[in-house]
């Protein structure tokens, strides 16, 4: 009995594609997805807690003791949507508020490699990364889906 439609699985497990046709294949896919959901909950639970803490503790101007902009409710919602959209196959990022009111997600896969993605109040996703000796950066409007270039970078890093 397949509880999850295969068309919904690539968000959770990019490697679980609609290639098998047997009931055993369906069952295996279902078990992989459920295991990844459980793992995602444990790993990303900390990231969601960090995000909630950033929103709760940085909601007023000057939260950094200087002139930092507050993390707004719209920034929090967009950042939460971004975090929920991460495929379970990627590790949870470190979460931190920025003085401009944005929320930043950071991944440090190996020494001298990083990917930093900020979600802004005005609905942009801004990223910069260093890997394989090169640098990348970009900006896109956030439409409730992680931009393809960011997913591609995560795949390269992990």
How much is the pLDDT for 3? Answer: 37
- Residues 106-143 have pLDDT tens digits of 999 999 999 999 999 999 999 999 988 789 999 999 99
Q: Does the reported pTM lie above 0.75?
A: no
- Residues 49-91 have pLDDT tens digits of 899 999 999 999 999 999 999 999 999 999 999 998 998 889 9
DSSP code of 40? H
Q: Where are the domains of the chain?
A: 6-157
Is 156 strand, coil or helix? helix
How much is the pLDDT for 6? Answer: 37
pLDDT at 151 over 90: yes
Mean pLDDT, residues 3-26 taken together: 51
Question: Counting Cβ atoms within 10 Å, is residue 79 exposed (0-12), middle (13-18) or buried (19+)?
Answer: buried
């Amino acid at each position: 009995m397949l509880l999850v439609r295969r068309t919904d699985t690539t968000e959770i497990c990019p490697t679980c594609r609609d290639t098998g046709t047997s009931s055993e294949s369906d069952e295996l896919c279902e078990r992989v997805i459920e295991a990844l959901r459980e793992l995602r909950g444990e790993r990303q639970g900390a990231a969601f807690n960090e995000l909630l803490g950033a929103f709760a503790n940085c909601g007023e101007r000057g939260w950094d003791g200087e002139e930092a902009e507050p993390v707004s409710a719209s920034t929090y919602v967009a950042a939460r949507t971004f975090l929920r959209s991460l495929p379970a196959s990627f590790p949870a990022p470190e979460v931190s508020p920025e003085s401009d009111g944005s929320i930043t997600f950071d991944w440090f896969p190996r020494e001298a490699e990083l990917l930093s993605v900020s979600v802004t109040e005005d609905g942009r996703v801004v990223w910069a990364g260093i890997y394989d000796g090169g640098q990348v950066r970009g900006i896109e409007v956030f439409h409730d889906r992680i931009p393809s270039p960011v997913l591609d970078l995560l795949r390269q890093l992990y």
